Amino acid sequence: MIYADNAATTKLDKDAYEAMLPFLLNEYANASQPYSFSRKTKAALKKARQMIADCINALPEEIYFTSGGTESDNWAIKGLAFADKEKRAMITSAFEHHAVLNSCAAIEYLGYPVAYMWPTKAGLIKADILEKYITNTTRLVSVMFANNEIGTVQPIKELSTMAHSYGALFHTDAVQAVGHIPIDVQDLGVDMLSASAHKFNGPKGVGFLYIRNGTSICSYLNGGSQEFTMRAGTENVAGIVGMAVALQKNCENIKNNIAHLYNLERIIVERLNKCGIDYIRNGIENGLPGLLSLSFKGCSGEQLLHRLDLQGIEISTGSACNSVKTEISHVLTAIGLEDNYAKGTIRISFGKDNKCSDAEKIINELIHVIHAL
């Protein structure tokens, strides 16, 4: 099998796996207990928090462990909305992940006004777009770091600067970016940042929310006093330890990983450009390394996915078919891609473990399948 759907999830890193093992078997103490058996789990949480903070230039007390990207996004949006009932207006983009879009829909239902910015055709939310929506009554601006379907990386520093100049806070869903491109929360000036371990070779069901010290936010999961009394629930110690090791490892190798991923992309794009197939590469400007969103005119993305699957190649589509019609994804709709290209969209997302021979095999099979169809 060739796995090229790393934007959906990644393989657990072996070092992360090994670091987790003691906490699954012998070191199973509840970190909140005062007895000596809990010392190791408590120390492991402390170390993991510091390791993660170092990777994004945060303070350890600004890292809150969660169950993943979905929870972090829900917390950032709902927690902020409920913290200030006077200043209620929120702004996000129309091509966010549903963890953000549906959280916004939930607060809209409770009467909070939410505005949705439309990206450019290139898949970017530039500061001049935000300027058209933002006012002094805006409480929060939430724009994703990198889009999960087309890979465009947004100008986060410019957006957070603009949000602050209007007295608003800034959140970014960085689930696709953390561990893949360098992130410095101080330099970017973000107030909150969501991340998910399984997107950077950590385990599933664990993530974190960075919350800048002093940010006024309500807790989202109520219960015990874990996570500085802000996020209740017994900590997933093994998952948190695995997340920290995976992130540290990815960050240490980030330059080499990026160069390798761009090389894999180049293999695909060079062959495609030579073979005369009519296609568009979405989000080409400022893209996430290793992610290719390709739209083939007159093709069906579903058919391409299944034909490649038969050849042992795992990729994803940009649309979902049901028996009645093909639903174009909200991201492709937001960038205004024509239907006859949008329906034929696939996403290839390479990871650090993919080899050049994987890219060559994928492009050979893809060209073959498109000609055959």
Residues acting as catalytic residues: 321
Structural contact between residues 339 and 318, judged by C-beta atoms closer than 8 angstroms: no
Q: Which residues make beta-bridge pairs with 142?
A: 92, 171
Is residue 175 near ligand PLP by the rule CB under 6 A? yes
Chain mean position to CA 331 = 14
77-106 positions binding ligand PLP, by CB under 6 A: 97, 99
Residue closer to ligand PLP, measured from CB, 97 or 212: 97
Residue closer to ligand PLP, measured from CB, 68 or 318: 68
Q: Which of 92, 196, 201, 295 binds ligand PLP (CB under 6 A)?
A: 196
Q: How far is CA 176 from CA 97, 112, 263, in A?
A: 10, 27, 19
CA torsion angle 41 42 46 52 (round to 10): 40
> Quick one: which segment of 35-43, 68-76, 236-244, 339-347 binds ligand PLP (CB under 6 A)?
68-76
Is residue 69 near ligand PLP by the rule CB under 6 A? yes
For the CB of residue 136, give the shortest distance to ligand PLP in the complex, in Å: 29
Q: What pairing do the DSSP bridges indicate for beta strands 316-317 and 313-314?
A: unpaired
> Quick one: which segment of 128-136, 172-180, 227-235, 338-346 binds ligand PLP (CB under 6 A)?
172-180
331-350 positions binding ligand PLP, by CB under 6 A: none
d(C-alpha 100, C-alpha 142), whole Å: 8
Q: Which of 123, 207, 283, 290 binds ligand PLP (CB under 6 A)?
A: 207
Is residue 68 near ligand PLP by the rule CB under 6 A? yes
> Quick one: which segment of 66-74, 107-115, 214-222, 327-335 binds ligand PLP (CB under 6 A)?
66-74
For the CB of residue 267, give the shortest distance to ligand PLP in the complex, in Å: 24
Residue 342 backbone dihedrals phi, psi, to 5 degrees: -60, -40
For the CB of residue 289, give the shortest distance to ligand PLP in the complex, in Å: 15
Residue 280 is which amino acid?
I
108-167 positions binding ligand PLP, by CB under 6 A: 144, 148
For the CB of residue 370, give the shortest distance to ligand PLP in the complex, in Å: 27
Question: How many CB atoms sit inside 10 A of residue 96's CB?
Answer: 25
Q: Which of 6, 10, 41, 70 binds ligand PLP (CB under 6 A)?
A: 70
d(C-alpha 223, C-alpha 96), whole Å: 29
Q: Which residues make beta-bridge pairs with 63?
A: 210
Q: Which residues make beta-bridge pairs with 138?
A: 89
Q: Tell me the three state secondary structure of residue 58.
A: coil
Q: Which residues make beta-bridge pairs with 181?
A: none
d(C-alpha 321, C-alpha 323), whole Å: 7
> Quick one: which segment of 47-55, 62-70, 280-288, 310-318 binds ligand PLP (CB under 6 A)?
62-70
Task: Give the residues lining the site for ligand PLP (CB under 6 A).
Answer: 68-70, 73, 97, 99, 144, 148, 173, 175-176, 196, 207
